[in-house]
Amino acid sequence: MAKKATYSTTEVAKYLSDAPEAISTYISDLEKQIQNLAHIGLALSKERDMDKLLEMILLEAKRIANSDGGTLYMMTDDQRLKFEIIMTDSLNFHMGGTSGEDIPFYPVKLYTDEGEENKSMIAAYVALTGETVNLPDAYKAKGFDFSGTKMFDEKTGYRSKSFLTVPLKNHEDEIIGVLQLLNAQTQKAKKIISFGADVQQMVEALASQAAVAITNKNLIRDLEALFESFIKLIASAIDAKSPYTGGHCARVPEITIMLAEAVVATKDGPFADIIFSEKEMYELKIAAWLHDCGKVATPEFVVDKSTKLETIYDRVNEVETRFSVIKRDEEIKRLKKELQIEKDKSLSSKEKVEKTDQLKKAYRSKIRKLKSDLDFVKESNIGGEFMSGDKKERVHEIANYKWKPNGKMENFLSENEVYNLTIPRGTLTAEERKVINDHIVVTIKMLEELPYPKHLQNVPEFAGGHHEKLDGTGYPKGLIKDDMSVQARIMAIADIFEALTARDRPYKKGKTLSQAMRILGFMKNDAHIDVDLFEIFVKEKIYMKYAEGFLDPEQIDEVKI
């Protein structure tokens, strides 16, 4: 029979006097740990940078366990554990995370080349089973391969002893990573000890919080990637529909962000206090990508109209055929008259030669005139910056030529052909230009239908205002400067500058930098674009930064400010 323990009155009195203090200390430490877990949980939920988030997790785990080292692995898509962060305080060792140093180690395989589970590696074992492994001494542990750890110790003089390896499980009970701590220590003497059961519970609680935070960040990242991919898919759809606008959708965001960053960097003037947060810059980039999404509804024959007479095909070829017919008719007339002269017995040989020469001279003059008119029609068909009144009058004169296509005399050009050939600027008629302009109305309607998160609420306004002018003459709403956000005004400049310098439009060549900047200068003077934003565009040489990456060398010339 075991001997019953006995205590003196003095010992009992001392225990009772010390107990409240010990209990109070224990409760206080426990409260601090709970508060720390709550704080770290809040911090994890707020951190957006994944490297900082992962490092925060490892540092907090090391603090809880007072461990000398730690490693954080993340699961890859091909079922391996990738080293994300490695830290050992006593060796001043820090790789991965925010250190800026890459980790040279290969990821840990969960399965061998033969397809068997790799349970000899402790991190792989934890990832495969979902169980926490707490080892007091790795050198005495059975069933796990620590040969690599021992080699590391031999090289560095370190002694890896206690290990705590915890799985990171998400809300679907999937293993997304592994947290491993090395060498727990006493607080003061830094003596290596085992990881206690209470420490293990705290680290497991942290691992659970961390897994949720990581999963949420990955989910947000994946959703943003999906959203951006969808946006680029729309641009690709426009590109497939019209190769002349797809590049525009990709290039406008480049200029937009360059100018927005320059505005943020401005320390004086009307934009000195303007600061775009990371979310606001992202919102602006999304708006820039989507600013022309309404063009998916614009007919191709209008978007791609490269010449004035183009519909499904370029009708200038028909006009050229008519000229050939007139030339043929003129030649037939000449030959018939020459034949009549030759048969006329009242004329001498000399008179016949003279009359024939006159006919040929008049014929050649007529042919030269027809060739000149054909060249003029072809040139007019291309379109340009401006068509003068005398050129329009010449089109009408050519239209009055007569020809007989089906035995019936008709005007050389139809009313529709005359209307198109006398377009004053570009290749679009007023009706076609309205169809093009309506793309912004479709854009706004499309964008306003989307259920945006809070940080993207302004996308429709930013994207829908890039054709507005500061004097109220823009479209579709006729806004003035005070009605427009800074972001919308930035996009207006980006859209115009890209359109001027674009080298893939069907109806014009890309302008040089000096030409594009001169036109923007006129638009600034006419209150079509923001004066102050244009000054930043010029001062910070946004035009040159863009040109170096997106324009042909022959477009980059000297810009005189």
- The tokens of 396 are what? 């009408």
Tally of CB atoms within 10 A around 240: 10
Give 8-61 pLDDT, tens digit per residue.
555 555 555 555 665 665 465 556 656 665 566 666 666 667 888 889 889 999
Give the pLDDT confidence score for residue 4 in this predicted structure: 47
Residue 126 CA: distances (Å) to CA of 81, 133, 149, 179, 324: 11, 7, 17, 10, 85
Counting residues of the chain whose pLDDT is more than 90, the rounded percentage is: 62
Judge whether 239 and 249 are in contact, CB under 8 Å.
yes
User: Strand locations in 124-269, DSSP E?
Assistant: 133-135, 163-169, 175-185, 192-193
Q: List the beta bridge partners of residue 168.
A: 177
User: Average model confidence (pLDDT) for the chain?
Assistant: 88
Q: Is residue 517's pLDDT more than 90? A: yes
Q: Is residue 110's pLDDT more than 80? A: yes
Residue 50 CA: distances (Å) to CA of 54, 55, 100, 221: 6, 9, 14, 10
Asked whether the CA dihedral 518, 523, 527, 529 is positive or negative, the reply is negative
Give the pLDDT confidence score for residue 2 in this predicted structure: 43
CA atoms within 13 A on the CB side of 444: 15
| pTM, rounded to two decimals | 0.67
Collapse the DSSP code of 394 into the 3-class scheme (helix H, G, I; strand E, B; otherwise coil) and give the result: helix
Tally of CB atoms within 10 A around 410: 13
Judge whether 543 and 523 are in contact, CB under 8 Å.
no
Q: Is residue 64's pLDDT more than 80? A: yes
In the block, tokens 């303007």 appear at 274
Under 8 Å CB-to-CB from 5, ≥6 apart: which residues? none
Q: Is residue 246's pLDDT more than 60? A: no
Counting residues of the chain whose pLDDT is more than 70, the rounded percentage is: 89
Q: What is the mean pLDDT of residues 139-151?
A: 92
Give the pLDDT confidence score for residue 272 in this predicted structure: 92
The winner for highest mean pLDDT among 22-26, 153-157, 226-230, 233-237 is: 153-157
Q: What is the mean pLDDT of residues 223-238?
A: 83
Q: What is the mean pLDDT of residues 61-80?
A: 94
Give 378-425 pLDDT, tens digit per residue.
999 988 768 899 999 999 999 999 888 887 888 999 999 999 999 998
Give the pLDDT confidence score for residue 3 in this predicted structure: 46
Give the pLDDT confidence score for residue 438 in this predicted structure: 87
**CA 67, CA 241: separation in Å to the nearest integer?**
60
**CA 458, CA 81: separation in Å to the nearest integer?**
41
Least confident piece of the model among 30-39, 200-209, 428-437, 507-516 = 30-39
Q: List the beta bridge partners of residue 175.
A: 169
Q: Is residue 507's pLDDT more than 60? A: no
Residue 1: pLDDT band with limits 50, 70, 90 = very low
Least confident piece of the model among 294-298, 351-355, 529-533 = 294-298
Give the pLDDT confidence score for residue 459 in this predicted structure: 95
Q: What is the mean pLDDT of residues 59-66?
A: 92
**Residue 61 backbone phi and psi in degrees, to 5:** -65, -40
Give 190-228 pLDDT, tens digit per residue.
899 999 999 999 999 889 888 888 888 888 888 888 988
Give 526-543 pLDDT, tens digit per residue.
999 999 999 999 999 999
Tell the burial category of 534 from Cβ atoms under 10 Å away from its Cβ (0-12, 13-18, 19+).
Answer: buried
Least confident piece of the model among 39-53, 244-258, 496-510 = 39-53
Residue 89 DSSP class: T
Give the pLDDT confidence score for residue 10 in this predicted structure: 59
Collapse the DSSP code of 253 into the 3-class scheme (helix H, G, I; strand E, B; otherwise coil) and give the result: helix
Spatial CA neighbour of 119 closest among 93, 91, 149, 142: 142
Q: What is the mean pLDDT of residues 344-356?
A: 90
**CA 236, CA 22: separation in Å to the nearest integer?**
69
Give the pLDDT confidence score for residue 483 in this predicted structure: 94
Give the pLDDT confidence score for residue 151 in this predicted structure: 93
**CA 287, CA 463: separation in Å to the nearest integer?**
5
